[in-house]
Structure 1
Amino acid sequence: MPSITVRNIPDEVHRAIRVRAAMHGCSTEAEVRSILEQAAKPEGRLKLGTLLASIAREAGGLTDEEFALFDNVRDRTPAAPLSFE
């Protein structure tokens, strides 16, 4: 797993992160990972699939009922593994 070194963090920021970690009952390192994850992947972010589905609906694409019909007839058998010999 990759690691990051962050230098020159102001003392008050480091202290605030330590306090926040203690309030959450975790290490400072775990708290920093949590902060980075929340910043990089926020809860309310729009995911690609949701965006594409909304574009298709606006363009007159499949309705949910039509998609359900299509999804029910899809072949769900697993694909055979490739042979390279």
Structure 2
Amino acid sequence: MSPIIVRGLDEHVKQQLSAQAKEHGRSMEAEVRDILTKAARRPHIGMALLSVARDVGGVDELPIPTRDDVASASNSWARGMRTREASFDRGPRPPRAP
């Protein structure tokens, strides 16, 4: 088996893995190997749903409703965008007085 090197792993993640390994009574390497093996073997939810749909006759005949609604931004979001746009138009702000 070829080794895998993980660079830039956050120190907090490393500490969590170490604690988890200790809790399970194994080395950190064995813990990471177990986590990766389980993750790789976990079924892909989309493929699992597709398989179930095929088992019950597929989904080809299901009607797809047309959308008649229009997505819109909430008023508070739109108001905030107008405020930010206006502040960009004014140029740099003067320094604040102490």
TM-score normalised by L of structure 2: 0.45
- How much does 1:56 deviate? 8.1
Residues paired across the two proteins, number: 55
Q: 1:61-80, CA deviations, whole angstroms, 9 ceiling, x for partnerless residues? A: xxxxxxxxxxxxxxxxxxxx
Larger radius of gyration: 2
> Compared with structure 1, are the counterparts of its residues 56 and 38 closer, same or farther at alpha carbon in structure 2 (3 Å cutoff)?
closer
Distance 1:56 1:35, change over 3 A: closer
- TM-score, scaled relative to structure 1: 0.51
Gap regions ≥5 residues in structure 1 = 59-85
- Listed as ranges, the gaps of 5+ residues in structure 2 are 45-50, 58-98
Q: Percent of aligned positions with the same letter in both sequences?
A: 37
In the TM superposition, structure 1's runs of 4+ consecutive aligned residues that sit over 2 Å from their partners are 55-58
Root-mean-square deviation over aligned CA pairs: 2.6
